[in-house]
Amino acid sequence: MMLSDDKISHLSHVLLKGLAKRKLIEPAEDEAKIRSEIKRTIVAELKIGEEIDAIVKRKLQSYSRKIVEGTPEWELMYKKFYKDEEIKRGRASG
């Protein structure tokens, strides 16, 4: 995972505070439960991102012609394949 538990916890506090301040939500439940759900959602999204990253890297490595990671060609193909995988999973629009 790209973020530590402390960073995710901090993000959950910031998000909840920001949503409440802008009156986008009125916490009907215990704030700890809401923060816990925010944290769960962040972790789930990070895991999906890691899965997509692994799929895309495997796809790029499968080419018979070696595409060197970090080159403009690799970056362009990575972004395209990543976006395609996000669309397949309903995370982005086509």
What does the pLDDT look like over 37-82, one tens digit per residue? 999 999 999 999 999 999 999 999 999 999 999 999 999 999 999 9
Note the Cα 48 to chain centre separation in Å. Answer: 6
Contact 8, 2 (CB under 8 A): no
Q: Could you give the CA distance from residue 38 to residue 55 in angstroms, rounded to a whole number?
A: 26
Domain boundaries, the chain: 5-88
Phi, psi of 73 (to 5 degrees): -60, -45
* pTM more than 0.85: no
